[in-house]
Amino acid sequence: MKRKFWNWIKNQNGGGSEMRTLFLNGPISDESWFGDEVTPKLFKDELAAGDGPISVWINSPGGDVFAAAQIYNMLMDYPNDVTVMIDGLAASAASVIAMAGTEVQMSPVAMMMIHNPATVAIGDSEEMKKAVKMLDEVKESIMNAYEIKTGLPRDKISKMMDAESWFNANKAVELGFVDKIMFSEATNSSADDGETVMFSRQAVMNSMLSKLIPPKEPKENRTPVTHLEKRLSLLSH
């Protein structure tokens, strides 16, 4: 079995009933679930060990898209409420899993990132074409999860993925990726009251370069004194 990247905690709530919490910390599977039957079955069996509401805490940079897809499907199919809590980072494949929440909450100091899927391909030009086509299809499947949750147009979601977009909590709520900011009563209707931030990797890079590299001062259109002296000497003869 591949490395187990999740952990379940059982707690008792005030009414005496058992509450289960799932923690997803770190990369979502350091190896692909593609072709693996044991790891997904173990996750599914542990998820099905109870039927009450669950909380899913996410702090992950992402990982294997096929693992994320299966976890997303299992959580969507869960018979009770799934409350997703993003307390650090939900990036790449981890952001897909977050979309399975009945309610998605995000810490005011957390971040979310969405981008295009990537892979490594080896072979001739035909193999490269197959890889490009596969990535296009994977992107479409990821967009399905974002579209279901946010209701945003697919072309807007696609452009945000192309730009590798990062969202703070307010922006994530504004766009519909998140329903509520943790430790706050803010919801979609009040998201405009706070400052929202969305930025792309290219925008950040350009901003950094502009600070590191001082702008060149425009050259003044002046004629050197020596040239003027030569011109004056020619006129005097």
Q: List residues bridging with 84 in a β-sheet.
A: 56, 104
Any domain includes 81:
yes
Please give the backbone phi and psi of residue 105, each rounded to the nearest 5 degrees, phi first: -115, 150
Question: Residue 131 sits in a domain of what CATH number?
Answer: 3.90.226.10
Any domain includes 1:
no
Residue pLDDT, tens place only, 181-226 = 999 874 444 444 555 556 555 555 555 455 445 555 544 545 555 5
Split into its structural domains, the chain has a count of 1
Any domain includes 101:
yes
**Tokens linked to 106:** 């995000």
Residue pLDDT, tens place only, 116-127 = 998 888 889 998
Expressed as residue numbers, the domain containing 68 is 6-236
3-state secondary structure at position 90: strand
pTM of the predicted structure, to 2 decimals: 0.78
Any domain includes 106:
yes
